[in-house]
Structure 1
Amino acid sequence: MLVLSLAIWAVKAQGGTFNYTQPDIDSGKALQDLSRIAKENALKRLSSSSSGCTADNVYFLLFHRVYIWIFEEKLRTTSMGGNGEKVNGSQGMLPGGTGGGCIKEGPFSNYTVNLGPLTARDPLAHNPRCLKRNLNTEICRASASLKNTTEVMLESPNIELFQANLQGDFRYPESRKWGFSVHGGGHFIIAGDPGSDFYFSDVAGTLTMMNRPPSRNGTLDDVLDLEPLGEAYTLGEMLDTVGGSPFCFVYE
Protein backbone atom coordinates (compact mmCIF):
# COMPACT_ATOMS: atom_id res chain seq x y z
CA MET A 1 0.00 0.00 0.00
CA LEU A 2 2.79 2.42 0.87
CA VAL A 3 4.71 1.76 -2.36
CA LEU A 4 1.53 1.99 -4.47
CA SER A 5 0.54 5.28 -2.83
CA LEU A 6 4.02 6.73 -3.41
CA ALA A 7 3.92 5.67 -7.05
CA ILE A 8 0.50 7.31 -7.54
CA TRP A 9 1.74 10.45 -5.78
CA ALA A 10 4.81 10.61 -8.04
CA VAL A 11 2.72 10.28 -11.21
CA LYS A 12 0.26 12.95 -10.01
CA ALA A 13 3.15 15.28 -9.19
CA GLN A 14 4.23 15.05 -12.83
CA GLY A 15 0.72 15.90 -14.06
CA GLY A 16 -0.09 12.33 -15.04
CA THR A 17 -3.40 10.47 -14.79
CA PHE A 18 -4.28 6.85 -14.16
CA ASN A 19 -7.37 4.64 -14.44
CA TYR A 20 -6.93 1.11 -13.12
CA THR A 21 -9.50 -1.52 -12.21
CA GLN A 22 -9.43 -3.35 -8.89
CA PRO A 23 -8.10 -6.54 -10.60
CA ASP A 24 -5.23 -4.43 -12.03
CA ILE A 25 -4.40 -3.26 -8.51
CA ASP A 26 -4.72 -6.73 -6.96
CA SER A 27 -2.52 -8.36 -9.62
CA GLY A 28 0.24 -5.79 -9.29
CA LYS A 29 -0.15 -4.39 -12.82
CA ALA A 30 -1.03 -0.92 -11.51
CA LEU A 31 2.02 -0.78 -9.25
CA GLN A 32 4.29 -2.04 -12.04
CA ASP A 33 3.07 0.60 -14.50
CA LEU A 34 3.10 3.45 -11.99
CA SER A 35 6.56 2.54 -10.72
CA ARG A 36 7.88 2.51 -14.30
CA ILE A 37 6.35 5.93 -15.03
CA ALA A 38 7.65 7.42 -11.77
CA LYS A 39 11.13 6.02 -12.45
CA GLU A 40 11.17 7.41 -16.01
CA ASN A 41 10.14 10.84 -14.72
CA ALA A 42 12.83 10.77 -12.03
CA LEU A 43 15.53 9.82 -14.55
CA LYS A 44 14.48 12.67 -16.83
CA ARG A 45 14.89 15.12 -13.96
CA LEU A 46 18.30 13.72 -12.99
CA SER A 47 19.71 13.33 -16.50
CA SER A 48 21.30 16.79 -16.40
CA SER A 49 23.04 16.30 -13.03
CA SER A 50 26.80 15.93 -12.84
CA SER A 51 26.43 12.24 -11.98
CA GLY A 52 24.42 11.58 -15.11
CA CYS A 53 22.19 9.43 -12.91
CA THR A 54 20.57 6.61 -14.88
CA ALA A 55 19.47 3.06 -14.17
CA ASP A 56 23.11 2.10 -14.77
CA ASN A 57 24.63 3.71 -11.70
CA VAL A 58 23.08 3.48 -8.25
CA TYR A 59 25.70 2.53 -5.63
CA PHE A 60 24.20 1.82 -2.25
CA LEU A 61 27.22 1.61 0.06
CA LEU A 62 29.35 4.42 -1.38
CA PHE A 63 26.30 6.66 -1.68
CA HIS A 64 25.68 6.20 2.04
CA ARG A 65 29.33 6.89 2.81
CA VAL A 66 29.28 10.28 1.13
CA TYR A 67 25.74 10.99 2.36
CA ILE A 68 26.68 10.38 6.02
CA TRP A 69 29.88 12.41 5.61
CA ILE A 70 28.04 15.40 4.12
CA PHE A 71 25.31 15.06 6.76
CA GLU A 72 27.91 15.08 9.54
CA GLU A 73 29.65 18.12 8.07
CA LYS A 74 26.36 20.03 7.92
CA LEU A 75 25.55 19.07 11.52
CA ARG A 76 28.75 20.79 12.65
CA THR A 77 27.24 24.15 11.71
CA THR A 78 23.47 23.51 11.49
CA SER A 79 21.29 21.90 14.16
CA MET A 80 18.65 19.48 12.90
CA GLY A 81 16.37 20.31 15.81
CA GLY A 82 15.06 18.27 18.68
CA ASN A 83 12.81 15.30 19.28
CA GLY A 84 9.04 15.43 19.01
CA GLU A 85 7.06 16.33 22.09
CA LYS A 86 6.71 13.44 24.51
CA VAL A 87 3.50 11.45 24.00
CA ASN A 88 2.65 8.65 26.40
CA GLY A 89 0.87 5.66 24.92
CA SER A 90 0.94 1.93 24.31
CA GLN A 91 4.11 0.36 22.95
CA GLY A 92 2.49 -1.62 20.15
CA MET A 93 4.74 -4.04 18.28
CA LEU A 94 7.88 -1.92 18.84
CA PRO A 95 9.35 -0.48 22.05
CA GLY A 96 8.06 3.00 22.81
CA GLY A 97 10.19 5.95 21.76
CA THR A 98 11.16 9.12 23.60
CA GLY A 99 8.91 11.55 21.70
CA GLY A 100 6.04 10.95 19.33
CA GLY A 101 4.56 14.44 19.05
CA CYS A 102 5.19 17.46 16.84
CA ILE A 103 8.72 18.80 16.40
CA LYS A 104 8.90 22.15 18.20
CA GLU A 105 12.56 23.12 17.74
CA GLY A 106 14.99 23.45 14.84
CA PRO A 107 14.53 23.85 11.07
CA PHE A 108 11.80 21.17 10.85
CA SER A 109 9.55 22.79 13.48
CA ASN A 110 7.49 24.46 10.75
CA TYR A 111 7.64 21.53 8.33
CA THR A 112 4.22 20.52 7.01
CA VAL A 113 3.29 16.95 6.07
CA ASN A 114 0.56 17.08 3.41
CA LEU A 115 -0.29 13.45 2.54
CA GLY A 116 -1.59 10.49 4.53
CA PRO A 117 -1.80 8.75 6.85
CA LEU A 118 -2.37 5.59 4.84
CA THR A 119 -5.13 4.53 7.24
CA ALA A 120 -7.25 7.51 6.17
CA ARG A 121 -10.21 6.97 3.84
CA ASP A 122 -8.33 8.89 1.14
CA PRO A 123 -4.60 8.76 1.96
CA LEU A 124 -3.81 10.99 -1.04
CA ALA A 125 -6.12 13.80 0.08
CA HIS A 126 -4.60 17.10 1.23
CA ASN A 127 -4.13 16.71 4.97
CA PRO A 128 -1.68 19.35 6.32
CA ARG A 129 -0.27 18.66 9.79
CA CYS A 130 2.98 18.90 11.73
CA LEU A 131 5.95 16.57 11.27
CA LYS A 132 6.31 14.17 14.18
CA ARG A 133 9.52 12.62 15.46
CA ASN A 134 9.92 9.79 17.95
CA LEU A 135 13.60 9.02 18.55
CA ASN A 136 13.89 5.44 19.77
CA THR A 137 16.93 4.55 21.86
CA GLU A 138 15.78 0.94 22.38
CA ILE A 139 15.88 0.17 18.66
CA CYS A 140 19.25 1.90 18.43
CA ARG A 141 20.69 -0.35 21.14
CA ALA A 142 19.12 -3.49 19.65
CA SER A 143 19.90 -2.95 15.96
CA ALA A 144 22.26 -0.07 15.19
CA SER A 145 24.78 0.12 18.03
CA LEU A 146 28.56 -0.10 17.71
CA LYS A 147 28.29 -3.73 18.83
CA ASN A 148 25.76 -4.54 16.09
CA THR A 149 27.80 -2.82 13.42
CA THR A 150 31.02 -4.54 14.50
CA GLU A 151 29.42 -8.00 14.53
CA VAL A 152 27.91 -7.46 11.07
CA MET A 153 31.37 -6.67 9.67
CA LEU A 154 33.14 -9.54 11.46
CA GLU A 155 30.56 -12.10 10.33
CA SER A 156 30.56 -11.07 6.66
CA PRO A 157 33.26 -12.94 4.70
CA ASN A 158 32.23 -11.37 1.35
CA ILE A 159 30.44 -8.30 0.01
CA GLU A 160 27.24 -10.20 -0.83
CA LEU A 161 26.78 -11.45 2.72
CA PHE A 162 27.82 -8.06 4.10
CA GLN A 163 24.99 -6.43 2.15
CA ALA A 164 22.57 -9.12 3.36
CA ASN A 165 23.65 -8.83 7.00
CA LEU A 166 23.51 -5.04 6.82
CA GLN A 167 19.89 -5.22 5.63
CA GLY A 168 18.77 -8.16 7.77
CA ASP A 169 17.84 -9.83 4.47
CA PHE A 170 15.70 -12.87 5.29
CA ARG A 171 16.55 -14.52 1.95
CA TYR A 172 19.91 -15.38 3.52
CA PRO A 173 19.77 -17.81 6.49
CA GLU A 174 22.88 -16.20 8.03
CA SER A 175 21.18 -12.78 8.05
CA ARG A 176 17.89 -13.66 9.72
CA LYS A 177 19.19 -13.24 13.26
CA TRP A 178 19.85 -9.51 12.74
CA GLY A 179 16.20 -8.41 12.70
CA PHE A 180 16.01 -4.80 11.49
CA SER A 181 19.81 -4.83 11.42
CA VAL A 182 21.95 -1.73 11.03
CA HIS A 183 20.17 -0.25 8.01
CA GLY A 184 16.58 -0.84 9.12
CA GLY A 185 17.43 0.14 12.67
CA GLY A 186 18.75 3.48 11.45
CA HIS A 187 15.39 4.29 9.90
CA PHE A 188 13.31 3.11 12.84
CA ILE A 189 15.44 5.16 15.25
CA ILE A 190 13.94 8.31 13.67
CA ALA A 191 10.38 6.93 13.94
CA GLY A 192 7.40 9.27 14.10
CA ASP A 193 5.40 10.25 11.02
CA PRO A 194 6.75 8.86 7.70
CA GLY A 195 6.35 12.20 5.96
CA SER A 196 9.94 13.27 5.34
CA ASP A 197 12.76 12.15 3.05
CA PHE A 198 13.99 9.65 5.68
CA TYR A 199 11.24 7.41 4.31
CA PHE A 200 10.46 8.60 0.79
CA SER A 201 13.99 8.51 -0.62
CA ASP A 202 14.55 4.78 -0.04
CA VAL A 203 11.07 3.56 -0.93
CA ALA A 204 10.86 5.62 -4.11
CA GLY A 205 14.04 3.98 -5.41
CA THR A 206 13.29 0.40 -4.39
CA LEU A 207 13.08 -1.06 -7.90
CA THR A 208 16.37 0.57 -8.91
CA MET A 209 18.09 -0.60 -5.73
CA MET A 210 16.94 -4.16 -6.51
CA ASN A 211 18.59 -3.87 -9.95
CA ARG A 212 15.37 -3.98 -11.97
CA PRO A 213 15.93 -3.77 -14.88
CA PRO A 214 19.43 -5.31 -14.73
CA SER A 215 22.21 -2.75 -15.05
CA ARG A 216 25.88 -2.83 -15.96
CA ASN A 217 28.62 -3.12 -13.34
CA GLY A 218 29.93 0.11 -11.88
CA THR A 219 33.38 1.55 -12.55
CA LEU A 220 35.77 3.69 -10.51
CA ASP A 221 35.08 6.58 -12.88
CA ASP A 222 31.34 6.67 -12.23
CA VAL A 223 30.18 9.77 -10.38
CA LEU A 224 27.92 10.28 -7.37
CA ASP A 225 26.73 13.70 -6.30
CA LEU A 226 24.41 15.15 -3.68
CA GLU A 227 24.19 18.61 -5.15
CA PRO A 228 23.30 21.17 -3.93
CA LEU A 229 24.24 19.80 -0.48
CA GLY A 230 27.68 18.55 -1.52
CA GLU A 231 30.06 18.19 -4.44
CA ALA A 232 30.30 15.35 -6.95
CA TYR A 233 32.91 12.61 -6.48
CA THR A 234 33.95 9.53 -8.41
CA LEU A 235 33.62 6.11 -6.83
CA GLY A 236 37.42 5.86 -6.89
CA GLU A 237 37.71 8.97 -4.73
CA MET A 238 35.16 7.67 -2.24
CA LEU A 239 36.89 4.30 -1.79
CA ASP A 240 39.88 5.96 -0.11
CA THR A 241 39.04 7.27 3.37
CA VAL A 242 42.51 8.48 4.39
CA GLY A 243 44.19 9.99 1.35
CA GLY A 244 41.44 10.77 -1.12
CA SER A 245 38.92 13.52 -1.38
CA PRO A 246 36.81 14.32 0.59
CA PHE A 247 37.26 11.93 3.53
CA CYS A 248 39.75 11.76 6.37
CA PHE A 249 38.85 8.93 8.79
CA VAL A 250 39.74 5.34 9.65
CA TYR A 251 37.70 2.36 10.86
CA GLU A 252 38.73 0.94 14.23
Structure 2
Amino acid sequence: MIAMHKDAAAVLSIKEMDDVTGEFEGYGSTFGGEPDSDGDVIVAGAYAESLAEHKSKGTMPKMFWQHDRDKPIGKWLDAKEDDTGLLMRGKLNLDVERGREAYEHLKHGDIDGLSIGYRIRKYEVDTETGTWFLKALDLYEVSVVSIGANENATITSVKAAKEAHEIMEKLRAGDRLTEREFETLLKGSLGFSNSQAERAARVHLKGSGEPADAAHETRSFLEALRG
Protein backbone atom coordinates (compact mmCIF):
# COMPACT_ATOMS: atom_id res chain seq x y z
CA MET A 1 0.00 0.00 0.00
CA ILE A 2 1.19 3.53 -0.74
CA ALA A 3 0.44 5.42 2.47
CA MET A 4 -0.13 8.65 0.62
CA HIS A 5 -3.11 10.96 0.93
CA LYS A 6 -4.54 11.62 -2.50
CA ASP A 7 -7.60 13.62 -3.53
CA ALA A 8 -9.26 12.68 -6.80
CA ALA A 9 -10.35 15.26 -9.31
CA ALA A 10 -13.90 16.38 -8.60
CA VAL A 11 -16.81 14.69 -10.33
CA LEU A 12 -19.69 16.99 -11.24
CA SER A 13 -22.32 14.49 -10.31
CA ILE A 14 -24.82 15.48 -7.65
CA LYS A 15 -27.86 13.51 -8.81
CA GLU A 16 -30.53 14.29 -6.24
CA MET A 17 -31.06 16.80 -3.44
CA ASP A 18 -33.82 16.66 -0.82
CA ASP A 19 -34.73 20.21 0.17
CA VAL A 20 -36.27 19.10 3.47
CA THR A 21 -33.87 16.55 4.94
CA GLY A 22 -30.61 17.66 3.36
CA GLU A 23 -30.06 14.20 1.87
CA PHE A 24 -28.34 13.97 -1.49
CA GLU A 25 -26.78 11.46 -3.86
CA GLY A 26 -23.90 11.57 -6.30
CA TYR A 27 -20.80 9.88 -7.65
CA GLY A 28 -17.56 10.24 -5.72
CA SER A 29 -15.65 8.97 -8.74
CA THR A 30 -16.25 7.17 -12.01
CA PHE A 31 -14.61 4.07 -13.49
CA GLY A 32 -12.47 3.64 -16.58
CA GLY A 33 -12.54 5.97 -19.54
CA GLU A 34 -9.74 8.34 -20.42
CA PRO A 35 -7.09 9.15 -17.77
CA ASP A 36 -8.02 12.16 -15.66
CA SER A 37 -5.92 15.31 -15.51
CA ASP A 38 -3.49 13.55 -13.17
CA GLY A 39 -3.02 10.58 -15.49
CA ASP A 40 -5.07 8.19 -13.34
CA VAL A 41 -7.76 5.66 -14.25
CA ILE A 42 -9.80 4.10 -11.45
CA VAL A 43 -10.61 0.47 -12.27
CA ALA A 44 -14.04 -1.03 -11.54
CA GLY A 45 -13.89 -2.88 -8.23
CA ALA A 46 -11.25 -0.58 -6.77
CA TYR A 47 -13.39 0.18 -3.71
CA ALA A 48 -14.68 -3.34 -3.02
CA GLU A 49 -12.23 -4.27 -0.25
CA SER A 50 -12.44 -0.93 1.51
CA LEU A 51 -16.25 -0.83 1.43
CA ALA A 52 -16.39 -4.38 2.77
CA GLU A 53 -14.11 -3.39 5.64
CA HIS A 54 -16.25 -0.34 6.43
CA LYS A 55 -19.34 -2.56 6.47
CA SER A 56 -17.77 -5.13 8.80
CA LYS A 57 -16.72 -2.36 11.20
CA GLY A 58 -20.02 -0.51 10.98
CA THR A 59 -18.28 2.61 9.68
CA MET A 60 -18.54 4.87 6.64
CA PRO A 61 -16.12 7.21 4.88
CA LYS A 62 -16.21 10.71 6.40
CA MET A 63 -17.95 13.65 4.75
CA PHE A 64 -15.81 16.80 4.73
CA TRP A 65 -15.97 20.22 3.16
CA GLN A 66 -13.10 20.70 0.66
CA HIS A 67 -11.11 17.73 2.08
CA ASP A 68 -10.66 19.63 5.35
CA ARG A 69 -10.72 17.20 8.28
CA ASP A 70 -11.61 20.05 10.60
CA LYS A 71 -14.78 20.75 8.61
CA PRO A 72 -17.21 17.81 8.76
CA ILE A 73 -20.56 18.76 7.22
CA GLY A 74 -22.65 15.62 7.60
CA LYS A 75 -22.40 11.88 7.17
CA TRP A 76 -22.57 9.29 4.42
CA LEU A 77 -25.48 6.87 4.73
CA ASP A 78 -24.58 4.48 1.92
CA ALA A 79 -21.69 3.81 -0.45
CA LYS A 80 -21.63 1.27 -3.25
CA GLU A 81 -20.14 0.56 -6.64
CA ASP A 82 -22.32 0.37 -9.75
CA ASP A 83 -21.48 0.24 -13.45
CA THR A 84 -20.67 3.96 -13.47
CA GLY A 85 -18.55 4.37 -10.37
CA LEU A 86 -18.72 5.00 -6.63
CA LEU A 87 -22.28 6.03 -5.79
CA MET A 88 -22.66 7.88 -2.48
CA ARG A 89 -25.82 8.77 -0.54
CA GLY A 90 -25.42 11.21 2.33
CA LYS A 91 -27.10 13.64 4.66
CA LEU A 92 -25.89 17.14 5.44
CA ASN A 93 -26.00 18.23 9.08
CA LEU A 94 -28.31 21.22 8.88
CA ASP A 95 -27.85 21.94 12.60
CA VAL A 96 -24.31 23.26 12.01
CA GLU A 97 -23.32 26.34 10.02
CA ARG A 98 -21.03 24.59 7.54
CA GLY A 99 -23.70 21.98 6.79
CA ARG A 100 -26.26 24.69 6.07
CA GLU A 101 -23.77 26.56 3.88
CA ALA A 102 -23.01 23.41 1.89
CA TYR A 103 -26.73 22.77 1.54
CA GLU A 104 -27.36 26.25 0.13
CA HIS A 105 -24.43 25.98 -2.31
CA LEU A 106 -25.66 22.61 -3.57
CA LYS A 107 -29.30 23.70 -3.71
CA HIS A 108 -28.51 26.76 -5.83
CA GLY A 109 -26.00 24.99 -8.06
CA ASP A 110 -23.02 27.06 -6.91
CA ILE A 111 -21.12 23.79 -6.60
CA ASP A 112 -22.04 20.25 -7.59
CA GLY A 113 -18.84 18.27 -7.15
CA LEU A 114 -17.77 15.34 -5.02
CA SER A 115 -14.17 14.25 -4.56
CA ILE A 116 -12.66 11.24 -2.78
CA GLY A 117 -9.73 11.07 -0.38
CA TYR A 118 -7.93 7.74 -0.36
CA ARG A 119 -4.73 5.74 -0.14
CA ILE A 120 -3.56 3.46 -2.91
CA ARG A 121 -3.49 -0.27 -2.15
CA LYS A 122 -2.87 -1.78 -5.57
CA TYR A 123 -1.98 -0.18 -8.88
CA GLU A 124 -0.28 -0.72 -12.22
CA VAL A 125 1.63 1.87 -14.22
CA ASP A 126 1.81 2.07 -18.00
CA THR A 127 5.37 3.29 -18.35
CA GLU A 128 4.84 4.38 -21.95
CA THR A 129 1.95 6.73 -21.22
CA GLY A 130 2.55 7.39 -17.52
CA THR A 131 -1.03 6.32 -16.74
CA TRP A 132 -1.72 4.89 -13.29
CA PHE A 133 -4.43 2.21 -13.18
CA LEU A 134 -5.73 2.25 -9.61
CA LYS A 135 -6.99 -1.25 -8.80
CA ALA A 136 -7.61 -1.13 -5.03
CA LEU A 137 -8.12 1.98 -2.90
CA ASP A 138 -8.49 2.58 0.81
CA LEU A 139 -11.41 5.03 0.89
CA TYR A 140 -11.55 7.20 3.99
CA GLU A 141 -13.47 10.33 2.98
CA VAL A 142 -15.65 11.84 0.28
CA SER A 143 -15.87 15.63 0.25
CA VAL A 144 -18.20 18.20 -1.23
CA VAL A 145 -15.85 20.43 -3.20
CA SER A 146 -15.48 23.35 -5.56
CA ILE A 147 -13.37 22.54 -8.60
CA GLY A 148 -10.67 25.19 -8.16
CA ALA A 149 -9.81 24.33 -4.56
CA ASN A 150 -9.76 20.62 -5.28
CA GLU A 151 -7.47 20.98 -8.29
CA ASN A 152 -4.88 22.73 -6.13
CA ALA A 153 -4.98 20.00 -3.51
CA THR A 154 -4.78 17.29 -6.15
CA ILE A 155 -1.70 18.69 -7.85
CA THR A 156 0.28 18.68 -4.60
CA SER A 157 -0.73 15.22 -3.46
CA VAL A 158 -0.32 13.56 -6.85
CA LYS A 159 3.19 14.94 -7.24
CA ALA A 160 4.11 13.48 -3.85
CA ALA A 161 2.59 10.07 -4.62
CA LYS A 162 4.30 9.74 -7.97
CA GLU A 163 7.61 10.90 -6.57
CA ALA A 164 7.37 8.10 -3.99
CA HIS A 165 6.66 5.61 -6.78
CA GLU A 166 9.72 6.75 -8.74
CA ILE A 167 11.90 6.39 -5.64
CA MET A 168 10.63 2.85 -5.03
CA GLU A 169 11.43 1.93 -8.65
CA LYS A 170 14.95 3.29 -8.20
CA LEU A 171 15.34 1.22 -5.05
CA ARG A 172 14.11 -1.95 -6.77
CA ALA A 173 16.67 -1.39 -9.52
CA GLY A 174 19.45 -1.44 -6.93
CA ASP A 175 20.25 2.27 -7.23
CA ARG A 176 21.37 4.19 -4.19
CA LEU A 177 19.00 6.79 -2.77
CA THR A 178 20.04 10.31 -1.93
CA GLU A 179 19.36 11.57 1.58
CA ARG A 180 16.43 13.66 0.31
CA GLU A 181 14.89 10.68 -1.52
CA PHE A 182 15.25 8.51 1.57
CA GLU A 183 13.51 11.16 3.68
CA THR A 184 10.70 11.42 1.11
CA LEU A 185 10.16 7.67 1.24
CA LEU A 186 10.04 7.61 5.04
CA LYS A 187 7.61 10.52 5.24
CA GLY A 188 5.37 9.37 2.39
CA SER A 189 5.22 5.59 2.82
CA LEU A 190 5.74 5.24 6.55
CA GLY A 191 4.32 8.44 7.98
CA PHE A 192 7.51 9.70 9.64
CA SER A 193 7.56 13.31 10.78
CA ASN A 194 10.07 15.65 9.11
CA SER A 195 12.51 15.47 12.03
CA GLN A 196 12.19 11.67 12.35
CA ALA A 197 12.82 11.16 8.63
CA GLU A 198 15.82 13.49 8.59
CA ARG A 199 17.38 11.78 11.61
CA ALA A 200 16.78 8.27 10.24
CA ALA A 201 18.23 9.22 6.86
CA ARG A 202 21.39 10.65 8.40
CA VAL A 203 21.93 7.64 10.66
CA HIS A 204 21.17 5.00 8.05
CA LEU A 205 22.97 6.48 5.06
CA LYS A 206 26.07 7.66 6.91
CA GLY A 207 29.08 5.69 5.77
CA SER A 208 27.20 3.38 3.38
CA GLY A 209 29.53 1.55 1.03
CA GLU A 210 28.86 0.54 -2.57
CA PRO A 211 25.54 1.72 -4.14
CA ALA A 212 24.23 -1.85 -4.52
CA ASP A 213 25.00 -2.59 -0.87
CA ALA A 214 23.35 0.64 0.21
CA ALA A 215 20.23 -0.16 -1.82
CA HIS A 216 20.04 -3.63 -0.24
CA GLU A 217 20.50 -2.16 3.24
CA THR A 218 17.80 0.41 2.56
CA ARG A 219 15.31 -2.24 1.45
CA SER A 220 16.08 -4.32 4.55
CA PHE A 221 15.70 -1.24 6.74
CA LEU A 222 12.30 -0.36 5.26
CA GLU A 223 11.08 -3.95 5.53
CA ALA A 224 12.07 -4.04 9.20
CA LEU A 225 10.21 -0.76 9.85
CA ARG A 226 7.09 -2.14 8.19
CA GLY A 227 7.27 -5.22 10.46
The normalised TM-score by structure 2 is: 0.27
Structure with more strand by fraction = 2
Structure with more helix by fraction = 1
The normalised TM-score by structure 1 is: 0.25
